[in-house]
């Protein structure tokens, strides 16, 4: 068992991130120290339900819990106000009250949506995160961000609602399609780039063996989760430290938006990270060798191998929108070295235009 504590300053209580192979069978024991009510609602999507819900529910039942399953359609579309209402009414119809706990079993979509419902239902229910995608394990399930999308923008409506526990079972990943694995790999590299060069080395040395070697996979997920946990504990909301998690995302988000979200998040972030490495050469003194090593690592994992297929003008226009929201400045996370990041404000658009992937 690997374990870390997300120590939060202020009023909110700290919580643990626990990781072990096969943990999904033993969730009842994981919940025991939290003294939650026995009645528990597990929210998931139809794909994860089909693959994994039986085992999770059986384990909870065997451990003395009374779990009820709620499912939403898979995919980003479920991060909607409609689903918030539908889940809330379903919870009411099934007798949920202010003592009920919610468990999010799924990827970032299920986690963000369930988190939002948990923060709103009768002003707040306890939430357990059980991430089933690599991206959710190393990123989305930790830190307490919840959100749904509106037609105007992604993640526009959201809250901070910290989970009581994050329980990670890497075995869920055995059914995860390669495209979704790559989305998570991009976030693992991001964590390494901003905080831990050694994590990059480890991923590089493992290469394609990463998903075959249980022990290494567990360790890599744990290291990346620990980086995320360390950053959100230092800075629970959106100060400069937490902003470091945006490495590759300034341009990544613009690419996603300009592609009308056809480009997968991991691919967009990978292109964004390469652009940020190039900017770091110019603005924060990243060495040529470190830059090349970073780009090679990204490409070797099957990321940013092809041009994003989005006109650079559209990407720059999307960046311009973002710029308005940040008081007229383009803000980038750049590297001094692999594992050492800083926030750079006022990056000229002309310079960005030179590194936009094409
Ligand atoms: P993310 O975690 O990247 O934000 P989603 O929550 O949308 O993304 O999950 C991505 C897709 O992977 C969804 O279609 C979801 O149903 C599916 N999925 C989630 N976990 C698993 C799993 N362990 N095995 C197979 N498919 C999964
Ligand atoms: Zn991301």
Q: Which of 54, 77, 133, 268 to mutate to test the pocket of ligand 1 (most atoms within 8 A of CB)?
A: 133
Please, what is the average pLDDT of the chain? 94
Cβ–ligand 1 distance for 106 under 6 Å, the answer: yes
Q: For residues 319-338, give the mean pLDDT.
A: 82
pLDDT band at 184 (very low <50, low <70, confident <90, very high): very high
pLDDT for 322 beyond 70: no
Reported confidence tier of residue 96, pLDDT bands at 50, 70, 90: very high
The CA radius of gyration of the chain, in Å to the nearest whole number, is 20
Q: How confident is the model at residue 13 (pLDDT cuts 50, 70, 90)?
A: confident
The pTM for the full model equals 0.95
Distance 350 CA to ligand 1 centre (A): 37
Q: For 262-280, write each residue's pLDDT tens digit.
A: 999 999 999 999 999 999 9
CATH architecture of 179-355: Up-down Bundle (1.20)
Could you tell me if the CB of 78 is within 6 A of ligand 1?
no
Q: Is the CB of 107 under 6 A from ligand 1?
A: yes
Distance, CA 214 to ligand 2 centroid (Å)? Answer: 24
Q: How far apart are CA 286 and CA 193, in angstroms?
A: 12
pLDDT of 355 over the 90 cut: yes
Residue 100 has pLDDT above 60, yes or no: yes
Active site residues: 123, 145, 187, 228, 238, 242, 246, 249, 253, 265
Ligand whose nearest atom lies closest to the CA of 77: 1
Average pLDDT on 42-51 reads 98
Establish whether residue 110 lines the binding site of ligand 1, counting it when its CB lies within 6 angstroms of any ligand atom: yes
- The residues, ordered by sequence, that sit 6+ positions from 192 with a Cβ below 8 Å of its Cβ are 198, 199, 200, 203, 224, 227, 338, 339
For residue 74 and ligand 1, the question of a CB distance below 6 A is answered with yes
Q: Which residues contact 106 (CB under 8 A, 6 or more apart)?
A: 43, 44, 45, 48, 114, 130, 131, 132, 133, 136
The mean pLDDT of 119-125, rounded to a whole number, is 96
Statement: residue 239 has pLDDT above 80: no
Domain residues of the chain, as ranges? 2-176, 179-355
Checking if the pLDDT of 321 tops 60, the result is yes
Q: How far is CA 113 from CA 149, 161, 186, in A?
A: 10, 11, 22
Kindly state the tokens that stand for 277.
């490495």
Distance between CA atoms of 139 and 40, rounded to whole angstroms?
Answer: 24
φ, ψ (nearest 5 deg) of residue 101: -105, 150
CB 96 within 8 A of CB 41: yes
Just give the CATH number of 2-176. Answer: 3.40.50.1970
Q: Count Cβ neighbours within 10 Å for each residue of 261-285 and write b for 16 or more, e otherwise.
A: eebbbbbbbbbbbbbbbbbbbebbe
């Amino acid at each position: 068992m690997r374990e870390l504590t997300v120590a939060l300053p202020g009023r909110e209580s700290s919580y643990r991130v626990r990781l072990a192979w096969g943990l999904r069978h033993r969730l009842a024991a994981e919940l025991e120290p939290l003294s939650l009510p026995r009645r528990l609602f597990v929210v998931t999507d139809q794909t994860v339900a089909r693959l994994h819900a039986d085992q999770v529910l059986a384990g909870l039942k065997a451990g003395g819990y009374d779990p009820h399953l709620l499912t939403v359609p898979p995919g980003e579309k479920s991060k909607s106000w409609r689903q918030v209402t539908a889940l809330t009414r379903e919870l009411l119809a099934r007798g949920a009250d202010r003592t009920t706990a919610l468990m999010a079993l799924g990827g970032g979509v299920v986690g963000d949506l369930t988190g939002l419902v948990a923060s709103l239902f009768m002003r707040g229910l306890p939430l357990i995160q059980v991430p089933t995608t690599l991206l959710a394990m190393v990123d989305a399930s930790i830190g307490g961000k919840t959100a749904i999308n509106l037609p105007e923008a992604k993640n526009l409506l959201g809250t901070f609602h910290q989970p009581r526990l994050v329980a990670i079972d890497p075995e869920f990943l055995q059914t995860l399609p390669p495209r979704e694995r790559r989305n998570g790999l991009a976030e693992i590299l991001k964590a390494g780039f901003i905080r831990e060069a050694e994590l990059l080395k480890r991923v590089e040395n493992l290469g394609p063996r990463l998903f075959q070697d249980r022990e290494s996979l567990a360790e890599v997920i744990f290291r990346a989760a620990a980086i995320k946990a360390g950053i959100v504990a230092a800075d629970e909301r959106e100060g400069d430290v937490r902003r470091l998690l945006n490495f590759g995302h300034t341009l990544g988000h613009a690419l996603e938006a300009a592609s009308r979200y056809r480009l997968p998040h991991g691919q967009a972030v990978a292109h964004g990270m390469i652009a940020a490495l190039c900017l770091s050469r110019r603005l924060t003194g990243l060495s040529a060798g470190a830059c090349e090593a970073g780009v090679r690592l990204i490409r070797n994992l099957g990321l940013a191998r092809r041009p994003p297929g989005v006109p650079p003008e559209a990407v720059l226009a999307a960046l311009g929108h973002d710029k308005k929201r940040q008081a007229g400045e383009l803000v980038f996370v750049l590297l001094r070295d692999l594992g050492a990041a800083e926030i750079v404000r006022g990056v000229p658009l002309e310079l960005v235009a030179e590194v936009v992937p094409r």
